[in-house]
Amino acid sequence: MLQSGQFDTPEFLEALRHRNPAAWRAFYEERWRPLCAFIRARLSHSPNGQADSEELAQEVFCRAYTGIARFRGEAHLETWLRTIAQYAIIDAVRAARRERRLSEGNVAMACVCEALHARAGSDPEASALHQDLLRQLLREINELLGTYSGLFVKRYLEGLSEQEVAAAEGLKCGTASGYLARARRLLRQQGARLDSLLHS
C-alpha cells in the first residue's frame, strides 16, 4: 500500500498517465472517502447527500482518468482532484436548477402534450373537430418554435427519446437536448396563446 506522500511522486504520476491499473486502483482507494466527504460537505442541503456525493465522486474520478494527460504536476494530486470536484459540483447544481425549472407547473406544456396524444373517439364529428384542433395546434407550434418545431414534434408527438431525436435530426445529443429546452421555454413564454387555442 502506498503512503500518502508517494502519490505525488513523478513515478506515480507517470503510472497514472499510462493508465496503469494498479496505480489507479491505489489512487481510487486512497482518495475515495476523502473525496466523498469533500463533496458531501458542499451538498449539505441535498436530501440525498451521501448518494449524490458518491455519484459525483465517481464522475470526478472519470474526469480525472480522461484528463490525467493534461495534468502538469504543478499542484498536488489531491488539490487537482478537488478542483475537478468543485467543477463537477457546480455542474450538478446547475443541472438540478434546470430540472426544477422544467418540473415547475407548466400548464401550456401539459395542455399541448395532452392535446397531441388525445383520442377523439368514435364520434365522426368529434373526430373531425379533433383533427382540426390538431392541425391548428401544429401550425401554432411551427410558428412559435420555428426551427425547433420538428424536434418538438418528434419528441412529444411521436414519442421518440432525446437520443432518437438527435439521431433522426443528425445532431449531437447535447445539441438536441439544448434545442428541446429552448422549445419548452418558448412554449412557456407563449402559454396564454396556446391556452386560448386549446380552450376556445
Entry pTM: 0.51
Alpha carbon 29 to its chain centroid, in Å, reads: 28
Side chain identity at residue 24, one-letter code: W
Q: Which CATH number fits domain 107-198: 1.10.3470, 1.10.10, 2.60.40, 1.10.12?
A: 1.10.10
Q: Which CATH number fits domain 4-103: 1.10.760.10, 1.10.30.50, 3.40.50.80, 1.10.1740.10?
A: 1.10.1740.10
Looking at per-residue pLDDT, the higher value among 40 and 134 belongs to 40
Q: Give me the sign of the Cα torsion angle 90, 95, 101, 104.
A: negative
Q: What is the mean pLDDT of residues 32-50?
A: 86
Q: Which runs of consecutive H residues, i.e. helices, occur in the chain?
A: 10-17, 21-42, 49-67, 77-103, 107-117, 124-145, 149-156, 162-169, 173-189, 191-198
Residue 198 has pLDDT above 50, yes or no: no
Q: What are phi and psi of 67, to 5 degrees?
A: -110, 5
- Give 48's DSSP letter: T
Which pLDDT does position 2 carry in this prediction? 47
Which pLDDT does position 107 carry in this prediction? 44
- The closest alpha carbon to 162, from 180, 189, 144, belongs to 180
